[in-house]
């Protein structure tokens, strides 16, 4: 379902240093472990969709045998993801390409795991993006797409650190209000994808497994 694209200013270098490697640093190892435990996918090919400078991809590679590709719209983020993977010693298994959720640059039935934290709220056409994720997954492959902070405790830490940034928390709550679980459940139903939308204290995730019987 196509939405009006949210207007915001994005400084990739600042986001990399202040957010991914700063305020949000603790959440990525936790989210990576949660995804691996939930899906059981620990090897093969993985896409970190809308992964920005790639810190979730880095943590997934460190915690598994996955080969992870960050796929992001901005060339600045692609470059930063490559830089971060080198810095953490996983550049042999973490790569980065430019691409949009609505037209993924990957073959049909070629990916074992697709993850995405935070980007779906900014996709121009969320339903088309989810359809693309399903297309590229191999039969038996998994997707974990949404947004969250790992645990309620980590969310509280971040809220405390950002206590003076009222705009950030306001915009976070507005995104969740505009994208309730039912919004995505309806999309999955329309696409014929069997999955669930989990909403908890720490965030919301759309989780599905591609059928082993190709349609």
**CB neighbourhood size of 205 (10 A):** 26
**CB neighbourhood size of 107 (10 A):** 10
Question: Which ranges of the chain does DSSP label H, i.e. alpha helix?
Answer: 12-14, 27-39, 55-62, 75-87, 126-136, 152-161, 166-178, 181-191
Report domain extents, the chain: 19-209
Nearest CA to 145 out of 209, 55, 74, 81 is that of 209
The CA distance from 51 to 150, in Å, is: 16
**CB neighbourhood size of 21 (10 A):** 16
As a whole number of Å, the end-to-end CA separation of the chain is: 22
Q: Note the pTM of the prediction, 2 decimals.
A: 0.92
CATH topology of domain 19-209: Rossmann fold (3.40.50)
pLDDT, mean of each 10-residue run, the chain (215 residues):
50 83 92 97 98 97 98 96 97 98 98 97 97 98 96 94 87 92 98 95 95 70
């Amino acid at each position: 379902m196509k939405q009006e694209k949210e207007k915001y200013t994005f400084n990739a270098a600042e986001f990399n240093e202040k957010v991914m490697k700063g305020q949000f640093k603790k959440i990525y190892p936790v989210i990576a472990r949660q995804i691996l435990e939930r899906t059981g996918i620990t090897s093969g090919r993985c896409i970190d969709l809308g992964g920005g400078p790639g810190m979730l991809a880095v943590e997934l590679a460190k915690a598994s045998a996955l080969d992870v590709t960050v796929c992001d719209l901005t060339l600045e983020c692609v470059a930063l993801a490559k830089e971060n993977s080198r810095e953490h010693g996983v550049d042999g298994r973490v790569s980065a390409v430019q691409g949009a959720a609505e037209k993924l640059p990957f073959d049909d039935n070629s990916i074992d795991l697709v993850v995405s934290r935070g980007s779906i709220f900014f996709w121009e056409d969320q339903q088309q993006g989810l359809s693309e994720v399903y297309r590229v997954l191999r039969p038996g492959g998994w997707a974990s797409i949404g947004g969250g902070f790992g645990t309620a405790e980590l969310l509280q830490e971040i809220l405390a650190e950002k206590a003076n940034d009222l705009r950030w928390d306001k915009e976070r709550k507005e995104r969740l209000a505009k994208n309730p679980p039912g919004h995505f459940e309806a999309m999955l139903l329309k696409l014929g994808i069997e999955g669930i939308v989990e909403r908890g204290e720490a965030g919301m995730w759309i989780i599905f497994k591609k059928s082993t019987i190709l349609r």
